[in-house]
Amino acid sequence: MKEFKKTLLIDLDGVLNTYHGDYNNDFIPPIRDGAKELLEKLYLEYEIKLFTSRNKLLACKWIIENDLDKFITDVTSEKQPAFLYIDDRAISFNGNYSKLFEDIKNFKVWYSA
C-alpha cells in the first residue's frame, strides 16, 4: 500500500533558484545553495510538486539537469490540493483583513533591496 504523504507545492523562481527579479522566459536561473538538501529532507515526509507558471518542459528539464527528479513528483501551474504552498510572493492570511491589507501594502519580496 502506498504511504500517504501530505503534499507541498513549492514555487521555483525565487525559492528553489537564484531568480531575483530578472525574468527571462527561456532561461531558468541556477539552483540556490541548499535547495537540493532541503528537497532531500522534505521528500522523505512530503510529496513535493513544483508550482510554477513557467513552461512545463523547460521546468522539467531544469529539474532533471539539477538531479531533482527523485524528489519532485509533478510540475503544475494549477492550485492543486496541498498541505502548504511555498512561494516568495505570498502572504499567510491569519483571519484579519486589516492586517492582510497592511501586509499587501507593505509587501516586499525577500530578494528586493
Cβ-count burial 54-81 (b if 16+ within 10 Å, e if not):
beeeebeebbeebebeebbeebeeeeee
* Spatial CB neighbours of 40, under 8 Å, sequence gap ≥ 6: 71
* # binding residues, Mg ion (CB under 5 A): 4
Cα gap 28→62, rounded to integer Å? 7
> Which one of 5, 88, 100, 103 is in contact with Mg ion (CB under 5 A)?
88
Q: Binding string, 43-62, against Mg ion, x = CB under 5 A?
A: --------------------
CB of 81 to Mg ion, least distance (A): 20
Strand order in the sheet with 72-76: 72-76, 46-51, 6-11, 84-86
Q: Binding string, 6-45, against Mg ion, x = CB under 5 A?
A: -----x-xx-------------------------------
CB of 14 to Mg ion, least distance (A): 4
Identify the DSSP state of 29: P
Q: Which one of 2-10, 41-49, 77-85, 88-96 is the stretch in contact with Mg ion (CB under 5 A)?
A: 88-96
Decide whether 5 or 103 has the Cβ nearer to Mg ion.
103
